[in-house]
Amino acid sequence: MNPGLDHLHPYPFEKLAALKAGAEPPAALSHIALSIGEPKHATPHLVTEAVIEHMHQLAVYPATRGMPELREAISAWLTTRFSLPQGSLSADKHVLPVNGTREALFAFTQVMIDASELSLVLMPNPFYQIYEGAALLAGAEPVYLNCDGNSLTPDFDQVSAETWDQCSILFLCSPGNPTGAVIGKPILQKLIKLAQQHDFIIASDECYSEIYFDESAPPAGLLEAAAEMGNDDYKHCVVFHSLSKRSNAPGLRSGFVAGDSDIIEQFFRYRTYHGCAMPMHHQAASIKAWQDEEHVRQNRALYCEKFDAVLDILDGVLEVERPDAGFYLWAKTPVEDTEFARKLFAEQNITVLPGQFLSRDTVDGNPGSNRVRMALVAPLEDCIEAAQRIKTCVESL
């Protein structure tokens, strides 16, 4: 057995189920789940129709690299969205479609870690638990960089040169899960210089990049930062994107990895053995999704409406602010986060995720303590109802 299995933590939702065990919420109140980041907006018609139209291709083995048309669509989207130099991003060399970024983040780590050496994998804290599990099962040691303070992003200046020397992968999540914080281009460029100096890979999870509140100011991306500093071959830089949040298609399991061509080629080599080619009908639907922006703008508008309504109700009730981007509220709690989550479920039949379940204890504390993550994925009327119930619960404390 892989010895890393013994070091895996229970998944946050296992802890949540244990926390809620024995609590009996009022039967008169319907359950509202704000705990899971699963989009509930309708999947665009153009995506579902493309799946149906290409179902006859179930008889075809898909190629690991994906259809050229899909890689071209992804390359064109990246170039336009992040203002990359025309022609700098090759669909053949820099892009690899994957079956959702969860699978890709895990597999990527297995490829890039040399288990015969001491390898550190740095990650934000709190974090998406795949980063940690992937590191442990690859034989690496996770290093947690607390996201607290006003910016809710790590203080990378506190990382020692020795730690950077031993770093194999730096995971970024921008916009952040669960904080919603965006890492700006100056910091991204500082990190790219560190990666070049200390020879590590930056793996930037940008799956929430298309959910933001100001149409004139989309979140910056790692490849964008690299290109602007003259690194237009994207060395040491890899990004992960998905249609799950952008296009409300989590069941499609469609995303991509893009960046440094040498890294992409090694990842492709691994995936030919891994056997995770994207089905043809999923690829056809993905092409349609990456080529259309109207449904993405409509999606953002729906989230903006929910944030406006919920934050108006919670103003003066909870210490919570609109995030930079994403669909999570990262609220401070008036009592311990686990106590608050259980009380909210028991009294109001609302499920939220305690922040400490998404974080690890460090010498500087647990940055998730006394916070909860609330995913505003439910319909507008349910989000409004949830906010009103949360207000009632807080006022009863």
Cite the DSSP H helix spans in the chain. Answer: 12-20, 45-53, 68-81, 101-112, 129-137, 161-166, 185-198, 222-228, 243-246, 261-274, 280-290, 294-314, 337-348, 380-395
What does the mean pLDDT of the chain come to?
96
- Neighbour count for residue 255 (Cβ, 10 Å): 25
pLDDT score, position 275: 82
- pLDDT one-digit tens code per residue, 89-105: 999 999 999 999 999 99
pTM exceeds 0.95, yes or no: yes
Residue 148 has pLDDT above 90, yes or no: no
Across 204-222, average pLDDT: 98
pLDDT at 150 over 90: no
pLDDT in tens, 5-24: 999 999 999 999 999 999 99
CATH numbers and ranges of domains, the chain: 3-42+295-395 (3.90.1150.10), 45-292 (3.40.640.10)
pLDDT band at 374 (very low <50, low <70, confident <90, very high): very high
**Mean pLDDT across 152-161:** 96
What is the tens place of the pLDDT at every residue in 310-335? Answer: 999 999 999 999 999 999 999 999 99
| pLDDT category of residue 212 using cuts at 50, 70 and 90 | very high
* CA–CA distance, 32 with 352 (Å, rounded to integer): 9
The phi and psi torsions of 280 (rounded to 5 degrees) equal -60, -40
Q: Give me the sign of the Cα torsion angle 324, 328, 329, 331.
A: negative
- The mean pLDDT of 124-150, rounded to a whole number, is 95
> Residues 157-181: what's their mean pLDDT?
97
Q: What pairs with residue 375 in β-bridges?
A: 328
pLDDT at residue 115 in the model = 87
Mean pLDDT of 56-62: 91
- For residue 166, what are the CA distances in angstroms to 21, 143, 348? 42, 11, 48
Helix (H) or strand (E) holding 256: strand 255-259
